[in-house]
Chains A and B, each alone.
Chain A
Amino acid sequence: MFIPLVRGAVFAASLALIAPLAHAEGGRTTDAPLLPKYQQECSACHIAYPPGMLPAESWKRLVNGLPQHFGTDASLDAQSVQQLSVWLAANAGTARRAGDAPPQDRITRSVWFVREHEEVPSSAWNLPAVKSPANCAACHTRANQGDFNEHRVRIPH
């Protein structure tokens, strides 16, 4: 009667060990459920990027510089900025996962992003259906649901 219990415990423990690895494959940044305010305010022009994709210092600069957001005015009222600042700081990528602040705080210039997309031909970025590496959903068919798994990538042509 005791041995099945031990077997069960060992089985459960081993599942617990491999689960983070299974989740990490292509899903490094999709842990935090998105703050509704973030989803609402930050997905009008691009997908609401998972906050784990950037370190906290990048998010801080971005959320405080919205009137000059990569060439456009993305300004918000002060209360919204405050709310987003708090949430982004709490859910930003750790140094191990997101790395250092990328140049210009651009996700697409992060070391990890460049490495993950090494195999993508540079011509793909210029396809009319893609336009820019920032347009995740062009190829990551479930990016809107926070799913960047490489098995669900479809590069248009």
Chain B
Amino acid sequence: MNRQSRLRPAPHWQIALAALACVMPLTPARAASPAELATAYAAQSGASPRPASGQQFFTSNHGRAWSCASCHGEVPTQAGRHAATGKPIGALAPAFNPERFSDAEKAEKWFRRNCSDVIGRECTAAEKADVIAWLMTLKP
């Protein structure tokens, strides 16, 4: 009787790699740093970031109900609180919270939402650059 050819099981390393590929997120986070994001937004805006403008922007109510500071605090070096729900919010200044501005998509998502709430429109690239640049000046 002829020996039948058989499917052999895949090597272990191939199985492991396939399993890993299955659990990788479909939209992986884009790793970044505060400096990289500030630089990228500044490049988009065509101007250098201005930390002083960032602070002013952050603490102003823009003629509406909330400022950024309403939830994050005037100087966001410690936990803030959601203005409506009371939920604690981690410090926003990167020197006090290393995960801040470490994911480009997450930063974009929160700019989209919170600028809509605070100023009623999207923030410009210049405004984003200014705010991040100011937050980066806050050191222990």
Give the interface of A toward B (CB within 8 A): 44-47, 67, 70-77, 79, 129-132, 134-135, 137-138
8 Å CB interface, B98-123 against A: 109, 112-114, 116-117
8 Å CB interface, B56-103 against A: 82, 84-87, 89
Q: How far is the CA of A131 from the CA of B88 in the complex (A)?
A: 12
**Residues of chain A within 8 A of B114, CB atoms compared:** 73
Give the residue of A70, A75, A134, A137 whose beta carbon is less than 8 angstroms from that of B112. A75
Shortest Cβ distance from A143 into chain B, in angstroms? Answer: 11
**B113–A73 touching, CB < 8 Å:** yes
Given A45-B87, A132-B84, A132-B86, A72:B117 Cβ within 8 A: yes
Interface size of B by CB at 8 A reads 14
B26 touches A (CB below 8 Å): yes
Q: How far is the CA of A139 from the CA of B80 in the complex (A)?
A: 19
**B113–A74 touching, CB < 8 Å:** yes
Q: How far is the CA of A117 from the CA of B116 in the complex (A)?
A: 34
**B84–A72 touching, CB < 8 Å:** yes
Q: How far is the CA of A133 from the CA of B27 in the complex (A)?
A: 35
**Residues of chain A within 8 A of B109, CB atoms compared:** 76-77
**B85–A132 touching, CB < 8 Å:** yes
**Residues of chain A within 8 A of B113, CB atoms compared:** 72-75
Q: How far is the CA of A129 from the CA of B73 in the complex (A)?
A: 16
User: Can you show 24 pairs from A to B with CB atoms below 8 A apart?
Assistant: A44-B87, A44-B89, A45-B82, A45-B84, A46-B82, A46-B85, A47-B87, A67-B116, A71-B84, A72-B84, A72-B113, A72-B117, A73-B113, A73-B114, A73-B117, A75-B116, A76-B109, A77-B109, A79-B26, A132-B85, A134-B85, A135-B85, A135-B87, A137-B87
Q: How far is the CA of A75 from the CA of B108 in the complex (A)?
A: 12
